[in-house]
Structure 1
Amino acid sequence: MTLKQPSQLLTAVDIEAMSASISVHDLNPNAVRHKKSLGDSVGLTQLGVYIITIMPGHESSEYHRHLYEEEFAYVLSGRGEAQIGEQVCSIGPGDFLGFARRGPAHVMVNTGSEPLVCLVSGQRLEHDVCDYPRKGLRLYIAGENEVHVKL
């Protein structure tokens, strides 16, 4: 008798077979991410959980900070840099980055010659405020509605 795999389980084979979607951040055309949504695949609604791949020379997002949501990144492979506030730090396999709400602005950049692959997760709060210091913008999120305003 063969048991059906529970819908809450993604095996390594399942994840490897998943197609990655490519997304480009609205405020940073160099923030090109290849994403596999693990959380959506198992029905998570309050957490976004992804494996993202950032190709050499690209960034993870626009330099930003959340006022209410928390997020993290765990580097699986590749090398790069993380700018956290005013500090630039080298990152590589096994490194963990945690970003508490109201923490410093941050972004990851693939400065290596191989893809930078990370497990990333963040909350999916219905309401959030996100600052983009380099752009001088603040994003207000209320459900499906998003509004950018100048700081």
Structure 2
Amino acid sequence: MDKYLITKEEIDQYEGISKTHFLNDNAKRVNKSLGDLTGLTGFGFHLIAVEPGHESTEFHKHYHEDECVYILEGVGEAQIGEEVYTIKAGDFIGYRAGGEAHSIRNTGANSLKCIVVGQRLEHDIGEYPNLNKRLYRHQGMPWDLVDMNAIEHPNAGKKA
């Protein structure tokens, strides 16, 4: 990647990529992945827009990656664990690795715009508690989505 600077004008003109979460048809957003455009690999830096009535993602948690959100415009609700919080421009949410599951819903009449930053580790485990699914992600391998009721935990002993 040769680009280090993306101007405000370039960002404004960039349409971004429309995404629908693979486990939630109502989780629709437009991503402007600015970190990708400048070759960042250790974390993702995204400007996202979520239209009224839609969610940012499926309710989930990461076991190993930190993630955070800064609200730029609009209003919504953030579900963090069992709690639901009203969010608005200027609010910051920090989702620590291994913490509570989370998602955001746009409850307003206008687009909800946010900065989303998240680690990009070589390996992570995500969990979708409302769907009873767990996602295993390992660099260079296909992702594995499993039904949590089908997970076995063998007592295989310790390695010497």
- Class of the TM-score when normalised by the shorter of the 2 chains: over 0.9
Question: RMSD over aligned Cα, in angstroms?
Answer: 1.0
> TM-score, length-normalised on structure 2?
0.89
Distance in 2 (CA, whole Å) between partners of 1:150 and 1:43 is: 34
- Counterpart residue identity of residue 71, structure 2: V
Distance in 2 (CA, whole Å) between partners of 1:145 and 1:46 is: 20
1:142 is displaced (CA, Å) by 0.7
State the match for 1:123 in structure 2: 119
Partner SS state of residue 145, structure 1: coil
State the match for 1:21 in structure 2: 17
Q: Please show how residues 43-54 of structure 1 align to structure 2 within 5 Å.
A: 43-54=39-50
Distance in 2 (CA, whole Å) between partners of 1:147 and 1:109 is: 26
In the alignment of these two chains, the number of paired residues is 146
The answer as to 2:100 corresponding to 1:104 is yes
Quote the sequence identity (%): 46
- Counterpart residue identity of residue 145, structure 1: P
- Counterpart residue identity of residue 147, structure 2: K
State the match for 1:76 in structure 2: 72
State the match for 1:58 in structure 2: 54
Distance in 2 (CA, whole Å) between partners of 1:109 and 1:33 is: 11
Match of 2:89 among 79, 90, 93: 93
> TM-score, length-normalised on structure 1?
0.94
Distance in 2 (CA, whole Å) between partners of 1:59 and 1:66 is: 18
Point out where structure 1 has 5 or more consecutive residues left out of the alignment.
1-5
Runs of 4+ in 1 over 2 A off after TM superposition: none
Larger Rg: 2
Match of 1:39 among 35, 41, 50: 35
